[in-house]
Structure 1
Amino acid sequence: MVQQRFEGKVVLVTGGGAGIGTGICKRFHAEGAKVWIVDTNREGAEAAAAALNQVDNGKEHARRAVTAIVDISQETAVSALLDQIEVTDGRLDVLVNNAARFVLKSAEMAEERDWDNVLASNVKGYGLVSKHAIRVMKATKTRGSSTEASGCSIINLGSISSFVGQPGMCTYSATKAAVLALTRCTAIDCGPYGIRVNAVCPGPILTEATKRHAASQGKSMEEMVSELTGHMIQHRMGTPAEIAAVVAFMASEDASFVSGASLLVDGGYSAL
């Protein structure tokens, strides 16, 4: 049976309408949280929320999944979203910065608009959502604790690309390396408030985005999987649920002595 570590807590997941993000939303919801699913894709976000609310049907705390269609690179929209969460729920316990744009270009081939696009979501967006989440978290009191915002947590999604060089991926990899610096610095700045900040860094995960990447490279999924898993100890792709389990652990009080860390979840990719 899944633990209920987030019963009565409020969780915000950016990029929650697909792939790893949807898996993360499912996990927090299963552990009792109210989940704000933030995405620019209305159809994906609403489908994810509908599936979770169907699970809630007939329960006391029904409709624990809600959506917000927000471009996280726009501070006015981000600020309004966090204002809405504060007014509606009076608290924010966990932020998962998961949204990402997959702009895969080498330094030689990338144009200015490519850099602007990928940095806006993958770095600037993480910073802006964190900024406004922190102000709500600082006002969040955990029962029985004298530490302001004690128990609150920010999880940033890095990547295996944060650590290793990969051909034709300079734009994306640069942003994911930046996420690690953002994580460490924010952890230091938020330490006095009792807010922990960590990064979870997935290796190759089987999602629709993986399938699109294979198609863009003119490869079949079988070819892509074989190419990726050949560099892994476990010789298989990971799943969104496996990443979600680690994110939930890092956000929970089970990881209460962990902050400023970056945890690779890559099936042993980085060990070879």
Structure 2
Amino acid sequence: MKLQGKVTLITGSGSGIGRSAALLFGREGAYVVVNDLDAAKGEATVAEIQAGGGRAVFIQADVTHPESVQQMTAHALEQCGRIDVLFNNAGISGVGVLHEIELEQWDRVMNVNIRGVFLPSKYVIPHMIEQKNGSIINMSSCIAEIGLANRASYAATKGAVLALTKSMQVDYAPYGIRVNALLPGTILTPFVENYLKNAYDDPEAALASIKGRQLSNDLGSPEDVAQAALFLASDDSKFMMGSPLYIDGGVVFGKNA
């Protein structure tokens, strides 16, 4: 029970990596605050945590809207009394080379992936300062460290999140708050599965090509990233501060011959 007695708020936890993290945190003793725009998916995550004997509550909120995030934070504190772990997981992908990206598309990726880290942090951190304790996990990506074709907007946001993580750590270390970042490689989430089906004439060939980018020759699973998030959320990582944690199958630091 690595998170026994801790309250964890996970944004975008109705599906994919966020859902896997919520289920794992629940099994590890946390009181899980599940957040998502999709109420049905969020409630389903809560139901599964509760079915396993864990504690959870769903709070619907849009992480790009200040009022919505303020209300979510207030509700979580009223319901649970404190927030020990904030996992800024909510995010969307962005596809396209820079000069072809529509302005609306660019702004949406920026809003969700950067503003969606800024706002929850902004409203949760004052309470962590009062507690003089807390762990914040920001979802970056291995794309923050490498070049990848057709991902200009997504890469820009994930690089920003990594830089923000380091700056936040310097500011909040005096209050006992740790801030670290997850840098996953390509993870086989429902989003990736749908993307392969809709964007390629031969999804199987596309999947094989993507697998070849990893030294592992395979994609990661949401559970792989959830385990890394658990490490950062727990006291097992108490000496990690402002650090990037790679879960990428060897994309960043290796290359197949």
- In the alignment, residue 248 of structure 1 is paired with which amino acid? L
Deviations 1:58-96 (Å, cap 9, x if unpaired)?
Answer: xxxx6x111111110101111111111222221111000
2:18 to 18, 21, 28: 21
Secondary structure of the structure 2 residue equivalent to 1:51: helix
Q: Does the aligned pair in 2 maintain the 1:82–1:136 contact within 8 Å?
A: no
Q: Does the aligned pair in 2 maintain the 1:118–1:172 contact within 8 Å?
A: yes
- In the alignment, residue 183 of structure 1 is paired with which amino acid? T
Task: Calculate the TM-score normalised by the size of structure 1.
Answer: 0.90
Secondary structure of the structure 1 residue equivalent to 2:59: strand
- In the alignment, residue 121 of structure 2 is paired with which amino acid? S
Unaligned runs of 5+ in 2: none
Partner of 1:187: 169
1:46 to 43, 47, 64: 43
CA apart distance, 1:222: 2.2
1:162 to 144, 165, 171: 144
Partner of 1:209: 191
2:206 to 191, 205, 224: 224
CA apart distance, 1:163: 1.4
Task: Calculate the TM-score normalised by the size of structure 2.
Answer: 0.95
Structure 1 distance, partners of 2:92, 2:14, is 13
Structure 1 distance, partners of 2:18, 2:202, is 24
Identity %: 35
Q: Does the aligned pair in 2 maintain the 1:9–1:93 contact within 8 Å?
A: yes
- In the alignment, residue 175 of structure 2 is paired with which amino acid? Y
- In the alignment, residue 49 of structure 1 is paired with which amino acid? V
Matched, 1:115 2:97: no
Deviations 1:91-133 (Å, cap 9, x if unpaired)?
Answer: 1110000100222121111111112101111001101101111
Structure 1 distance, partners of 2:245, 2:226, is 13
Secondary structure of the structure 1 residue equivalent to 2:17: helix
Partner of 2:91: 100
Partner of 2:58: 67
Secondary structure of the structure 1 residue equivalent to 2:99: coil
Unaligned runs of 5+ in 1: 57-61, 141-147
CA apart distance, 1:257: 0.8
Q: Does the aligned pair in 2 maintain the 1:97–1:155 contact within 8 Å?
A: yes
